[in-house]
Amino acid sequence: MLVIEDSERLRRSLSQGLQQVGYAVDLAADGSEGLDYLESYEYDAVILDLMLPKVPGIEVLRRLRAKGSDVHVLILSARDQVEDRVEGLQLGADDYLIKPFSFDELCARLQALIRRRYQSKSPHINLGSVLVDISGKSVHHDGKHVPLTPSEYSVFEFLLLRRGRVTSQRQITEHIYHSDEDISSNVIEVLISGIRRKLGDEARLLETRRGFGYVIQ
């Protein structure tokens, strides 16, 4: 998740809140820094303010779509006029939320965007005897709760939403950790091992493709 917001207080608040519900968050204080992040990393969603220094948010959005990026963008702005919302949506934003806002509503909208990105409309996904509740960030096996850690859950959900596509360790690392975190080389292998152990007889759902990555079929 990338947050492009010039208010330090709101950036910090969003970062803390989003991390608590399981997102890895990168922060940009202006439009230029936001474009640099978008050039270097892949994100499931971007929270974009419009009134940004250096490069205005609407220009960030315009450049992003001109380059063919399909990342989902939620505009979060105090500009509440109909023409502002229309312009943002017509230029390629996927959603528009007006400040002040409810954090719960923001999270619900982000979850909907991410499900849409991976073509999964329902927040509940069944894999045989395994049920994943994306909204509740929980996994059950034969009706019993599977106690995944937040990092394990993030890996499992990411692979689940990319079901059928092989995902490399680098892609997983970029998804669940901040870009500036120092991550050991085997951390993803450790998390995958923990997920399999806790899934028990359904561990086969998570396949390793040697030299390529991991996949849930």
pTM: 0.71
Q: Are residues 161 and 212 in the same domain?
A: yes
Where a domain ends, among 80, 101, 117? Answer: 117
Residue 138 burial (CB < 10 Å; 0-12/13-18/19+)? middle
User: Residue 130 — φ and ψ, nearest 5°?
Assistant: -105, 130
pLDDT at residue 58, as a whole number: 95
Mean of all residue pLDDT scores within the chain: 89
Q: Are residues 16 and 92 in the same domain?
A: yes
Q: Are residues 112 and 134 in the same domain?
A: no
5 and 29 Cβ atoms separated by less than 8 Å: yes
Where a domain ends, among 92, 117, 142? Answer: 117
Each residue's pLDDT tens digit, 168-207? 988 888 877 776 666 777 888 999 999 999 998 888 889 9
Q: Are residues 110 and 159 in the same domain?
A: no
Residue 148 CA to its chain's centroid (Å): 18
Block residue for tokens 């490399």: 168
pLDDT at residue 103, as a whole number: 95
Each residue's pLDDT tens digit, 15-46? 999 988 878 889 999 999 999 999 988 888 99
What's the structural domain count of the chain?
2
Where a domain ends, among 100, 117, 134? Answer: 117
Q: Are residues 18 and 75 in the same domain?
A: yes
Give the domain extent around 129: 124-216
pLDDT at residue 179, as a whole number: 66
pLDDT at residue 120, as a whole number: 65
User: Does residue 107 sit in helix, strand or coil?
Assistant: helix
